[in-house]
Amino acid sequence: MDCGYNPNNTIDDNTSGKFFDAIKVGYTIGHSVSLISLTIAIIILFLFRKLHCTRNYIHMHLFVSFILKAVAVLMKDVVLYEVGETDNCQSPVSCKAVVVFFQYGVMASYFWLLVEGLYLHTLLAVSFFSERKYFWWYILNGWGAPTIFISAWVITKAYLKHPGCWEIIDDSPWWIIKTPILVTILVNFFLFICIIRTLRQKMNCPDIGRKESNQYSRLAKSTLLLIPLFGINYIIFAFIPDHIHPQVRMVFDLILGSFQGFVVAVLYCFMNGEVQAEIKRKWRRWMLQRFLVADTKYQQPSMGSNGNNFSTQITMFTKCSPTTRRASECQEHLSVI
């Protein structure tokens, strides 16, 4: 065994070998699609200044955590398979470093999913709160907590002098990673029960209007769509031993889990009504500017007020009415997609 890893150890026959190859192809495609879509989503949220707010900042951190996870998976496969093909472990430090980076990416994605749940619950349950103050606590939770647990895991592994690349997940130190992830999943499950309960109370309240009720209804549907993304489905496998139905577990954990980042990008960015409206506004402004520039080529250039009128028309064309701005602000606080 080289660096503690040999890909042929788990392959008993030709059939199982083809199954593992199919699994590897499946999650490689999934993580690649997630990596591309998440990168595009971050660029969109970063470029448009009107989309800069606490809610979208949290989304961007969530995107980064899934990007780290996707990059770590692709790097881990390259390093571990290359190590498995060598006669001896040439670079054990780099091999272990890739596995540590992979575990950090996985744990960070779970903790930032927890942050999304905490933010949504706070948004509904607390009438007034300091988003800036909470945001720094969210960062500390999303990046700081995984750093602490991964550091403890690395120190334990080094102290026990475990051989190989530390990719073994059935030893006792593995619970240092597994327990916090399981806690985040359970907390998210509890948060979503509270969120759904709060939404039902608000929707059944006779004091709210029909329009506001429809907004709560859309938020409820969005919440129900997000439940699988917060790891609720993994609770089923968390308490089942690893040797029971391993192939079913691999399909859910590896293949379906690899597309999790893509679904997050779709729900939080590409299907976000605020993002779509901003892109359309920028597109209309760009098309109008092109039209005016092309039109002035066939007319004598005018000085003074005429030039200012063109600029004023563009600005007035792209500005929202006060009613639209109020609706946008309301939607910003009531919708997560």
- Listed by start position, the domains of the chain span 23-286
Distance of CA 217 to the CA centre of its chain: 24
Give the H/E segment covering residue 160: helix 145-160
> Looking at residue 311, what is its pLDDT?
46
The 10 Å Cβ neighbour count of residue 164 is: 20
- Cα 13–chain centre separation: 37
Sorted by sequence, the CB contacts under 8 Å of residue 66 that are 6+ apart come out as: 34, 38, 109, 260, 261, 264
Which structure tokens are listed for 325? 């701005």
Could you tell me which residues come within 8 angstroms of residue 182 by beta carbon, excluding any fewer than 6 positions away? Answer: 235, 238
pLDDT at 317: 46
**Both tokens assigned to 77:** 């496969």
pLDDT at 151: 94
pLDDT, tens only, 39-53: 999 999 998 888 888
pLDDT in tens, 3-36: 444 444 444 556 677 888 888 888 899 999 999 9
- How many Å is the maximal CA-CA distance in the chain? 82
Residues of the chain predicted below pLDDT 70: 1-15, 81-92, 127-129, 168-170, 203, 206-245, 295, 297-337
Burial of residue 87 (number of CB atoms within 10 Å: 0-12, 13-18, 19+):
exposed
For residue 121, which amino acid is it? H
CATH number of 23-286: 1.10.238.10, 1.10.357.10, 1.10.540.10, 1.20.1070.10? 1.20.1070.10
- Any idea what DSSP says for residue 321? P
What's the rounded Cα separation, in Å, for the pair 184 and 149? 13
